[in-house]
Structure 1
Amino acid sequence: MKKIINGINISIAPLTNLERADLREVDLAGANLTGAYLGYACLNNANLNRAVLTGAFLMNAELVKANLGNADLTRAILSEANLSQVDMREANLIEAYLANAILIEADLSQANLVRANLIEANLRKAILTEAFLVKTELVGANLINADLRKADLTKSTLNGADLTGANLEQVILVEAVMERTNLRQADLSHANLSYANLRQANLTGTNLAESTSTGINLAEAYLTTAVLSKADLSQANLSRAELRQTESVGTNFGQANLSETNLAQANLADANLSETDLSEANLSQADLSGANLTQAILNKAKYDRTKYNYSTIFPEGFYAKDHDGLERVD
């Protein structure tokens, strides 16, 4: 098989060591480059569609706007490579090493990144719709405004990653580790975050409407002005979390830990708060209209202009009239 590189016909065999080679706009579609050494090579605008790059070395390579659609990059080394605006749709990147790689506006839709290393990679505005990122390392990664709709990040690690404004609608984050992750203004509606760890994460203004988050750890997390309506947060740990001014209409908090949580001005109308621990929680100016607090623990909870109505269900033996700060609104 022959390919043209800068106007010269060469066979694929010599393409095993091309360190710092100038391969701009070269056509290597379908080429077998298994184990090729392409460190610091320039492959901008190159066509590598369906190429086999298993175990290839591409550290610091330039691949801006290259076509790597359906390419096989299993266990390839792409650390610090520039892959801005690259086409990697349906590419195979299982166990690929992409630490500190630049993937700004890259298209990785339906790509397989299972167990890949993307630590501190720059994926700003990248497209990762329906991508497979199971057990993927994304610690400190930049995913600002990235599109991750329907992506599978089960058991992935995203500690300290920045997902500000990212679209995570219907994403799967079951058992993901996301401590101190920035999710400000992100869309997590209809997402599955069951048993994920988001301790101290920033979810200010985040949309979690109708998400499934059973057993999630949101201890000390910031959810000010977040939308939680009709979300399932049963058995969640929200201890000492900031839920001020959240929209939590019809949210399921059953058996959740809300001790010392700030729920000031939260709209908890029709929320399920049965068997929750609300000890020392701040419910100042919160709306409990229609909320179900059956068997809830309310020891030392704080009330100040806290609203309730005829359909609010308090724990057995709890009488609203005995607590200053509770106001009936019907």
Structure 2
Amino acid sequence: MITLIFETGDTVDFPFDSFVEEDLSGLDLHRAIFERLDVSGADFTGSNLRNAIFDYAILVGAKMSKAALMNSTFSCAKMEDVDLTESIAVFADFYKADLSGASLKGADVGGSRFIGAKLSSVNLDAKRVDEADFTGAIYDEKTVWPVGFDPEMYGAIKI
């Protein structure tokens, strides 16, 4: 059994030993604390993860499509190949997160921070990308941006 703690002090017990590859889709996990946990391959599709904390967490291959991620933090998280398609990541913080190979296609990233993030091979054909902060974020020729968007004008660095 694993106990998930929330910023409110509430807890929820889950009947498994880790979150790796677990189905957490459609759950209300508002203000949940996943800091430093391994949730690789977990399915959060359509979940409410507003204000959730994923700082230093391992989310490799996690599914977060259509999830509510407003104000969530992913500082220094390992997020390679995460599916964030059509998620609502408004004001989410991806400070120094490794998003290599992730997809944010159709996601709303207005006000989000990607400061120092690794964006190699990321699909960032997202909504309101011009309202996000890419200062010091690193991207490559395989990174997909919206047509007409110049990432270097928003602080991103091509490698």
Q: TM-score, normalised by structure 2?
A: 0.77
CA positional deviation for 1:124: 1.2
What does residue 210 of structure 1 align with?
A: none
What does residue 108 of structure 2 align with?
A: 92
CA positional deviation for 1:137: 6.1
Judge conservation of contact 2:45–2:67 (CA < 8 Å) in 1. Answer: yes
- The answer to whether the aligner puts 1:142 opposite 2:126 as a matched pair is no
The one-letter amino acid paired with 2:46 is: G
Judge conservation of contact 1:116–1:137 (CA < 8 Å) in 2. Answer: no
CA positional deviation for 1:111: 3.6
Report which of the two structures shows the higher radius of gyration computed on alpha carbons: 1
Query: Which secondary structure does the structure 2 equivalent of 1:88 belong to?
Result: coil
Alpha-carbon distance in 2 for matches of 1:7, 1:66? 13
Alpha-carbon distance in 1 for matches of 2:48, 2:148? 24
1:37-75 Cα deviation digits (max 9, x unpaired) = 110111110000011100001100111001000111100
Which protein has the bigger strand share?
2
What does residue 46 of structure 1 align with?
A: 62
What does residue 42 of structure 2 align with?
A: 26
Q: Which has the higher contact order (CA 8 A, sep 6+)?
A: 2
What does residue 91 of structure 2 align with?
A: 75
1:50-109 Cα deviation digits (max 9, x unpaired) = 111000011001110010001111001111000001011011110101110000010112
How do 1:1-330 and structure 2 match up within 5 A? 5-6=19-20, 12-13=28-29, 16-125=32-141, 126-130=143-147, 138-139=154-155, 141-144=156-159
Alpha-carbon distance in 1 for matches of 2:108, 2:158? 20
Query: Which secondary structure does the structure 1 equivalent of 2:102 belong to?
Result: coil
The one-letter amino acid paired with 2:134 is: L
Alpha-carbon distance in 1 for matches of 2:149, 2:48? 24
CA positional deviation for 1:9: 7.1
Flag structure 1 segments of 5+ consecutive residues without an equivalent. Answer: 145-330
Judge conservation of contact 1:110–1:130 (CA < 8 Å) in 2. Answer: no
Alpha-carbon distance in 1 for matches of 2:51, 2:108? 15
Q: TM-score, normalised by structure 1?
A: 0.39
Flag structure 2 segments of 5+ consecutive residues without an equivalent. Answer: 1-13
Q: How many residues are treated as equivalent by the alignment?
A: 141
CA positional deviation for 1:112: 2.5
Judge conservation of contact 1:116–1:133 (CA < 8 Å) in 2. Answer: no
Alpha-carbon distance in 1 for matches of 2:41, 2:122? 18
Query: Which secondary structure does the structure 2 equivalent of 1:114 belong to?
Result: helix
| Identity across the alignment (%) | 21
CA positional deviation for 1:123: 1.4
1:8–1:29 distance in 2 versus 1, CA, 3 Å: closer
